Amino acid sequence: MDGSEKIVIVSKNNEEQEVEVVTYLNSKDHMNQYFVYSKGEKQPNGDMIIYISKLVSEDGTNKLYEIEDDEEWKNVQVLLKEIANA
């Protein structure tokens, strides 16, 4: 991780981890927001490993949720491809 924006996320087990913000994505209908981040890990070929979670604001706190719905995951992949091709 270099000079990019970093934030601390807290797991369900209250473990803190500093991660690098890659980007935020909004669904086409603007009903959902997604957080794309890196833990500084790389693939064997050198590519950065990224993580994507659904970002939900609950009681004034932002919470991350795993994307479990296949259709929602396909929509997120389309969003990623659009920014990759921009």
- The string of pLDDT tens digits covering residues 24-53 is 999 989 899 999 999 999 999 999 999 999
Mean pLDDT, the chain, rounded, equals: 91
Q: How many helices (H) and strands (E) does the chain have?
A: 1, 5
Q: Looking at residues 59-77, what average pLDDT do you find?
A: 93
pLDDT grade, residue 2 (50/70/90)? low
pTM summary value: 0.85
Q: Which of the pair, 26 or 4, is modelled with greater confidence?
A: 26
Confidence at residue 1, expressed as pLDDT on a 0 to 100 scale = 46
Among 64, 69, 70, smallest CA distance to 52 is for: 64
Tokens at 53, concatenated: 């979670």
String of DSSP letters for 53-80 = EEEEEETTEEEEE----HHHHHHHHHHH
Confidence at residue 43, expressed as pLDDT on a 0 to 100 scale = 93
Q: Looking at residues 51-57, what average pLDDT do you find?
A: 95
